[in-house]
Copies of this chain bind each other. A is one copy, B any other.
Amino acid sequence: MNAEIITIGDELLIGQTIDTNSVYLAKKFEEIGIRISRKTAISDEKSDIIEMLQSASQRVDLIVITGGLGPTKDDITKKTLVEYFQCGWRIDQNVIDHLTKIFQSRGREFLEINKVQAELPACCETLHNEVGTAPGMLFNENGKIIISLPGVPNEVEYLIENQAIPRLIEKFNLAKIEHRTLITLMVPESMLSKQLEPFEATLPENLKLAYLPSFNCVKLRLSASGNIVSSVFLDEWFLKLQAATHPHVFCTSDISPVSYISSLLLENNISISTAESCTGGFIANQFVQAPGISKILSGSIISYSNEVKELELNVPHEILKEFGAVSEETATAMVNGVCAKFKSQLGIATTGIAGPSGGTESKPVGTIFIAIKYLDQILVRKFRLFGNRIQFMERANNCAMAMVKEIIGNI
């Protein structure tokens, strides 16, 4: 079954907000066999919204609208829905009760303007929003479902998971769309594609292989759609894909490289710390985004200046003087220092030039040394990474994850 997402709001069009809701929606819907066939961002103009509703409802059976449900004057989705369905208004007492409760618990005054959120199109079913003030709405128009949600990400998540999905499962008879994803690091897309030519030539027509490159990482996604393909058949071909991708397979699940390494370390109770110069805590923070990481990560250090490298990580002054801060020798001393400081079994150290300035002829912007220590082994590599500061950090992080995998082996 196909669905379309319509996001409403100038902020998505003029570039002030990145649309993460659609990513969440797509993932959740995929789990119950709903495929997003189109996603459209429009401004909060009534005529655009109505036109989109009309055209989308000719293409699909489910439309999800996000955005434009706040209490302020620039939010017009609800008015437009009343006009589109020509249904008038109703007041939802449950919403008023919920709002009163929320405002009390937060110690805030319940303003007249907030009551507007209990005014709903007469023909919609209310989707109770436990985590926010704007309720979701579900419309059933001759068997086609239109769901309208606020734009705030955690409210979208609550409403989809707890309100929308149970109703959609009940209403539609859904066929699951399956994917299998593997991840490679440090291999260019064109090299992978060349290596996979024989595999692709034998791939059955009801399977599809996609290359998803990002930051020295290429995801390979094998997809099947419809009822024709069994999980077993997809699994078989996924094994063939893994064999064909050998020796470049980093992991065989659709998670980020750092999530994969986090789980591996957590499962094996390997303690970790980072000493980051040019990546400034980026790698540690990626680890920290995994719940439960405090079991294996007790601390980390951002050592930007030479002084901090000396004082906090015991990098010898002579090494900094002779080889410079951006060197194999400094990276090695840093990783030794951080493992000793935090008594960790695994250490990651980075030192380099993120740019835009600071490069030299022998060490241009993008140069980075990454050192990984695991027990008594140390691995140090030099990379030249492209892109702006944030891209540099993303790439460095993926390089480090590839090196961690290499050094800890297949535990």
Hey, which bits of chain A sit against chain B, CB under 8 A? 10-20, 22-27, 30, 35-43, 48, 70-74, 108, 111, 113-114, 131, 133, 152-154, 179, 181, 188-191, 193-194, 200, 208-214, 219, 221, 223, 254, 279-282, 284-285, 287-289, 291-294, 297-305, 307-308, 312, 341-342, 355-357, 386-391, 393
Contacts and interface: CB of A to CB of B under 8 A. Distances in A.
B299 A299 contact: no
B312 A300 contact: no
A158 B145 CA distance: 42
Given A190-B113, A297-B304, A48 B38 contact: yes
Contact of A288 (B22, B37, B191, B302): B302
Contacts of A190: 70-72, 111, 113-114, 133
B305 A298 contact: yes
A212 B16 contact: yes
A189 B15 contact: no
Contacts of A188: 108
- Integer count of this chain's copies in the complex: 2
B288 A74 contact: no
A223 B43 CA distance: 13
A305 B301 contact: no
Given A39-B41, A304-B298, A17 B212 contact: yes
B24 A36 contact: no
Contacts of A213: 70, 152
Nearest to A306: B298
A298 B209 CA distance: 46
A179 to B, nearest CB: 7
Contact of A299 (B14, B288, B304): B304
Contact of A18 (B23, B279, B284, B312): B23
Contacts of A302: 281, 284, 288, 297, 299-302
A212 B8 CA distance: 12
Contact of A285 (B72, B193, B282): B282
Contacts of A179: 14
Contacts of A312: 299, 341
Contacts of A30: 14-15
Contacts of A300: 281, 301-302
Contact of A301 (B43, B223, B297, B301): B301
A13 B39 contact: yes
Q: Which 3 A-B pairs have the closest CB atoms?
A: A280-B288, A281-B281, A15-B26
